[in-house]
């Protein structure tokens, strides 16, 4: 085999980030099939490629027996000892059977074998890489839109953003840059498919982790998120350092941090709620921006009766009940609101 060809394989493996051994092993296996097809289908053979010298050799593997019943797979002890003096019964010996024109056969089959193996290896690398990104954010450019489904170029592969993972009211255009949450990675017959979401609460969580250093450092914790994508999100936060205001850290100087996140979510409203171990205090905070006068807790059925000023009743309930609905999901308590 041409040494330049083997050097080209080395360069290609480096470019693709694939082990050279994987390609050589695949090439050796493929050439075994080529040998059997073109020369001797019955023999049990292996192909050895010397990458330093560029030499290809074919070896027939035979078991040493007293009486030969199958010439293709067996060799007598007497004949084996002529080849290798220390041979004994049941040993496996290798006999070189490289045909004179095998280099031509190798050259004919090598390109197809290498191309197929590199394609398979790349699929494996992509699957492994993006499996690790499940639950993370990826950024990409919208490449095409088909029947409302959006396909996003995220580098080595195209991510799939289906209609049911898109917030109501969000509009997309080819060429736009967007951030998405990797919700699932699948490896199928057609290769790796990346399912992404713009509605998943995890998108909000990861955006806050990226934007707020105190969250990334573990000083501020996100306790829970309740979201109606495209409309409103409530996020409960808590500070492990009494000198750090969790809400203030998330809002940022002049509201810049939460504004950046809101911009990414296409102006989705975000309520940052202070988490508390006291259910009454937590429930009252969760109904922000409404002001709560009193909260009566019933632990038996995890319910709470909340009283608000009469002029704040509609604000506490929210449009179509959204504010109280999100507060209930955020806290895990059933909430009944009445006016003072």
Q: Do both 282 and 332 map to the same domain?
A: yes
Q: Do both 170 and 90 map to the same domain?
A: no
Q: Kindly report whether the global pTM for this prediction surpasses the value 0.85.
A: no
Q: Do both 88 and 110 map to the same domain?
A: yes
Residues 173-205: pLDDT tens digits? 999 999 999 999 987 767 788 999 999 999 999
Q: Do both 302 and 229 map to the same domain?
A: no
Q: Do both 13 and 127 map to the same domain?
A: yes
Upper half-sphere CA count for residue 100 (Cβ side, 13 Å): 0
- Mean pLDDT highest for which of 6-20, 55-69, 247-261? 247-261
Average pLDDT over residues 311-331: 96
Model pLDDT, residue 115: 78
Task: Report the interhelical angle of 20-38 vs 102-131 (nearest 10°).
Answer: 140
Model pLDDT, residue 41: 67
Nearest-5° Cα angle at 166, 165 to 170? 175
pLDDT > 90 fraction of the chain, expressed in percent and rounded: 57
Q: Do both 189 and 116 map to the same domain?
A: no
| Final residue before a domain boundary, out of 181, 197, 213 | 197
Domain count, the chain: 4
| Final residue before a domain boundary, out of 275, 296, 322 | 275
- The answer to whether 150 and 172 are in contact (CB under 8 A) is yes
Task: Report the interhelical angle of 20-38 vs 3-16 (nearest 10°).
Answer: 130
First to last CA, the chain: 90
Residue 7 has pLDDT above 80, yes or no: no
Q: Do both 113 and 19 map to the same domain?
A: yes
Model pLDDT, residue 285: 97
Model pLDDT, residue 188: 73
Q: Do both 30 and 55 map to the same domain?
A: yes
Supply the CATH number for residue 167's domain. Answer: 2.40.50.140
Supply the CATH number for residue 95's domain. Answer: 3.30.1480.10
Q: Tell me the residue range of the domain where 36 lies.
A: 3-131
Model pLDDT, residue 110: 75
Average pLDDT over residues 40-68: 82
Query: Residue 305: which pLDDT band, with cuts at 50, 70 and 90?
Result: very high
Q: Do both 102 and 36 map to the same domain?
A: yes
Joined tokens for residue 201: 């609460």
Residue 137 has pLDDT above 60, yes or no: yes
Rounded distance between C-alpha atoms, residue 118 and residue 200, angstroms: 35
- The answer to whether 302 and 332 are in contact (CB under 8 A) is yes
Rounded distance between C-alpha atoms, residue 60 and residue 79, angstroms: 14
Residue 245 has pLDDT above 90, yes or no: yes
Residue 132 has pLDDT above 90, yes or no: no
Going by C-alpha positions, the residue among 59, 96, 85, 69 that lies closest to residue 77 is 85
- For residues 93 and 106, the model is more confident at 93
Residues 18-27: pLDDT tens digits? 778 888 888 8
Model pLDDT, residue 233: 97
Q: What is the mean pLDDT of the chain?
A: 89
Query: Residue 2: which pLDDT band, with cuts at 50, 70 and 90?
Result: low
Q: Do both 156 and 40 map to the same domain?
A: no
| Final residue before a domain boundary, out of 180, 197, 214 | 197
Residues 141-158: pLDDT tens digits? 999 999 999 999 998 789
Largest interatomic CA distance in the chain: 107
Model pLDDT, residue 3: 65
Q: Do both 338 and 282 map to the same domain?
A: yes
Q: Do both 147 and 104 map to the same domain?
A: no
Residues 114-127: pLDDT tens digits? 777 777 777 777 77
Supply the CATH number for residue 268's domain. Answer: 3.30.300.20
């Amino acid at each position: 085999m041409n040494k330049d060809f083997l050097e080209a394989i080395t360069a290609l493996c480096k470019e693709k980030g694939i082990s050279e051994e994987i390609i050589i092993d695949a090439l050796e296996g493929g050439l075994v099939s080529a040998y059997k097809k073109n020369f001797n289908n019955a023999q049990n053979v292996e192909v050895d490629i010397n990458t330093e010298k560029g030499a290809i050799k074919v070896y027939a593997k035979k078991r040493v027996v007293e009486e030969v019943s199958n010439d293709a797979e067996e060799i007598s002890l007497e004949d084996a000892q002529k080849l290798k003096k220390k041979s004994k019964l049941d040993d496996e010996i290798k006999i070189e059977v490289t045909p004179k024109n095998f280099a031509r056969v190798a050259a004919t089959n090598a390109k197809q074998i290498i191309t197929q193996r590199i394609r398979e290896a790349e699929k494996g690398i992509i699957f492994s890489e993006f499996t690790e990104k499940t639950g993370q954010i990826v950024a990409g450019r919208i490449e095409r839109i088909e029947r409302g489904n959006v396909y996003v170029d995220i580098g080595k592969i195209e991510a799939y953003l289906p209609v049911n993972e898109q917030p109501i009211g969000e509009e997309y255009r080819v060429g736009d840059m967007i951030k998405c949450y990797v919700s699932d990675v699948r490896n199928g017959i057609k290769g790796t498919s990346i399912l992404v979401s713009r509605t998943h609460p995890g998108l909000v969580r990861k955006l806050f982790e990226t934007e707020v250093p105190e969250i990334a450092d573990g000083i501020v914790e996100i306790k829970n998120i309740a979201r109606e994508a495209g409309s409103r999100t409530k996020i409960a936060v808590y500070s492990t350092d009494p000198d750090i205001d969790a809400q203030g850290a998330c809002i940022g100087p002049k509201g810049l941090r939460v504004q950046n996140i809101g911009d990414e979510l296409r102006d989705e409203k975000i309520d940052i709620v202070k988490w508390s171990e006291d259910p009454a205090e937590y429930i009252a905070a969760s109904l922000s921006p409404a002001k709560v006068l009193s909260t009566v807790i019933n632990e038996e059925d995890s319910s709470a009766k909340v009283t608000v000023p009469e002029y704040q009743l509609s604000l506490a309930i929210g449009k179509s009940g959204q504010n109280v609905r999100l507060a209930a999901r955020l806290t895990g308590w059933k909430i009944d609101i009445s006016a003072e």
